[in-house]
Amino acid sequence: MSSVTSWTRLEPGARSDDLAPGLQARIHDPLWMLARQWQLGEFTGEDAGSPVSVRLRAEVAPVARYRPHGGTARPYDRNRPLETAVEAGSSGRLTDLRIAARAGQHFLRLLGGDPALAAYRDRFAAAYPLNLDDGGDGPLDPQSRRWLSVLGPRTPSGAQLLPDLRALADNGTPPTRVTVAFADQRAMRSRARSWLTWLDSLGLTPDGTDTAPPAWDPSRMEYRFEVAAHSGGVDTVFSAPEYDGGRLDWYSFSVDTGATLPAADPIEEPVEEIVRTVLPAPAGYPGMPAARWWEFEDARVDYGRVEAEPTDLSRLLLMEYATVYSNDWYLLPLTLPVASVVRIGSLVVTDTFGFRTLIRPAGALPGDGQDWSLFRHTVTGPRAAAGARSDRFLVAPAIADSLEAEPVEEVRLFRDEMANVAWAVETIVAGATGRRVRRHETTELTGAGAPTGSGGSAVGPGAAGADHYRLATSVPEHWFPLLPVEPVRGAYLLRRGSVPRHDAGHTVDPRPRGELLEPGRDLTIHSEEVPREGLHVTRVHQRARWSDGSTHTWIGRRKRPGRGEGSSGLVFDVVEQGPAG
């Protein structure tokens, strides 16, 4: 049986080269408007309704435990951001000059609050002077010298006050350097107890202990930690094995099926079940093209001038969503508590025709695979299938924004292909008083007659104009080589070394002055952590406000890509020509 298939197609034709009149879409008469609606297919009905109501059921479990890398699990305090628990290390040591001065000034204020004890202020300042013996591991730059010259004679050292004031507060033993009248000893003991209470609130680290955050992994130069919530009768552990610092969000975590976080004092918190009926709204963003033809759009956005290369995936995704799929996505408002794990158990959509549809999770239907995995955590562990995604979502107690100061410490790690060695270079360190000091400007602070570089042994006859044999050229003392070691066959690590400096017949091994290169221990870094582009690691003061209005201040560490390879100028077996006679 023969048939004839026909259709009607409108082919607009321009009478001139100017396309502006056609793009203006001027209105002529009602019949013309009906023709335009017919042309755009608005008269063709579709057997599909739009969502008008959604009923969802979810389980919300609070984050109950936190465990830093290599540490023990402990209850998580939801009154503070997670960044402060992960990134914040010690506030310092009492032997730091600035902290010692701050503690001494606070003790003077306590004495000044009592007229009978105010006379002891000058005596304590003279008997417990602030000087370099209180610490000062960092270089004493000119600004620090001036600072010390001003505060030194006027401020007692908190580090020197601590033993005597602790003995006074514990058993009433009077200070050994200042004679306190018997009538004033009771009041002095009360001030000593108040001072010790204030000192404990600072969270200082005792001498000889590490000030690095517990979650910091120096072998990877990144943070590693885990959080857990109890829901559905099991513990869901979210692991962040490669957190570089800075911005903590959902993509920093993965669900670890092989990890558990047993706490010494477990606190079981109830799981909240949420049932909501909400109205869906189309998902969009300001400036997105309108879905209907006759709707005015934002004239400030010109999508025709958006330039996108094939590698600009985020820009291409944004454009494709705005122009093709914008009317297929809806937003369901659901308010969830911070620091919680949510699982959507049921999602029923009611459309304009009254039909109800049960929406399954993405990837749950046969043949659907795991193609759509946005906002879904990767599942890791021995029991995890390849490409598996979790049906639980972590609402991380992360900070939206924070204020950051200039880095107080900065280290650059890179490879030197000409010398066939990797380097860790301290560019900025904290001085003796906590101020930023450029490392290359501190060579004169290492001692009288200290050379500007390390190494550089020369052998020669010493005659004027004679050539000199140099075993190795010199490098700055703040350049530390990363030497390859193989603790296990096939696994290579980089161990921090030093280039010996020869000074007045003695050999001195320079050591790092900052905290990032772990001066108190043997630092080893995985070889793959120092790629060809290098690394840039910093310590930064941060300040942020939490949802309850509280203010938090801490020092965080951050790892970023470097600037590529570098050159130290290190050369071995060099003969240098002497000056012409």
Q: Per-residue pLDDT tens for 178-237? A: 999 999 999 999 999 999 999 888 777 665 455 678 899 999 999 999 999 987 677 889
Do 128 and 178 reside in the same domain of the chain? yes
Least confident of 40-49, 204-213, 432-441, 468-477: 204-213
More confident residue, 133 or 87: 87
Residue 44, pLDDT > 60, answer: yes
pLDDT at 487: 83
Please tell me the total count of domains within the chain. 3
Domain endpoint, select from 380, 400, 420: 400
Establish if 455 belongs to a structural domain: yes
Domain membership of residue 71 as a residue range: 47-89+212-283+329-400
Residue 501, pLDDT > 80, answer: no
Secondary structure (3-state) at 472: strand
Residue 451, pLDDT > 50, answer: no
The overall average pLDDT reported for the chain is 83
pLDDT at 21: 73
Do 108 and 75 reside in the same domain of the chain? no
Do 167 and 136 reside in the same domain of the chain? yes
More confident residue, 323 or 550: 550
Establish if 298 belongs to a structural domain: no
DSSP of 290-357: PSSTTS---TT--GGG----TT-HHHHHHHHIIIIIGGG-EE------SSEEEEEEEEEEEETTS-EE
Do 269 and 354 reside in the same domain of the chain? yes
Q: Which residues contact 230 (CB under 8 A, 6 or more apart)?
A: 61, 64, 236, 268, 269, 271
More confident residue, 452 or 330: 330
Establish if 24 belongs to a structural domain: no
Do 364 and 432 reside in the same domain of the chain? no
Do 258 and 339 reside in the same domain of the chain? yes
pLDDT at 446: 42
Question: Tell me: the pLDDT tens digits for 279-293?
Answer: 999 888 877 877 776
Question: What is the average per-residue pLDDT within 491-500?
Answer: 89
CA distance 318 to 309: 13
219, 525 in Cβ contact below 8 A?
yes
Structure tokens at 268: 């079981």
Percent of the chain at pLDDT exceeding 70: 86
Residues present in the chain in total = 581
Do 57 and 176 reside in the same domain of the chain? no
Do 439 and 528 reside in the same domain of the chain? yes
Domain endpoint, select from 400, 417, 451: 400
